[in-house]
Amino acid sequence: MEPATAASVRDAIREIVELQLRQGAPPEVGPNLDRLIAAGFLREEAMTLIGCVLSRELSHALESGLPFDAQRYLDGLAALPAMRWD
């Protein structure tokens, strides 16, 4: 992936997480962000972690042709800062 493209994808993921926070949907995103910040992560770091979970689920949906797995996304958020890459 070209650097400009990677940056665009990263920005889009960040905007989706910000939108989820503003809309409170899913409602678990905000409390998980707060939990990560309380655990000592900077807001930017916590947003990156959440974005990683979101991008993993989006990639899985695109690659498999299956719908986005909302429960697996929520489970991934709850497991942060641990990350599953499978």
Q: What is the pTM of this model?
A: 0.90
Locate the domains of the chain by residue range: 3-79
Q: What is the mean pLDDT of residues 63-83?
A: 95
- pLDDT tens string 34-50: 999 999 999 999 999 99
- Cβ(36)–Cβ(46) under 8 Å? yes
Q: Which two tokens stand for residue 76?
A: 């991934």
Cα(45)–Cα(77) distance, rounded to whole angstroms? 14
Residue 6's pLDDT band, with cuts at 50, 70 and 90, is confident
- The answer on pLDDT for 86 being more than 60 is no
- Determine the Cα–Cα distance for residues 41 and 80; give it in Å rounded to an integer: 11
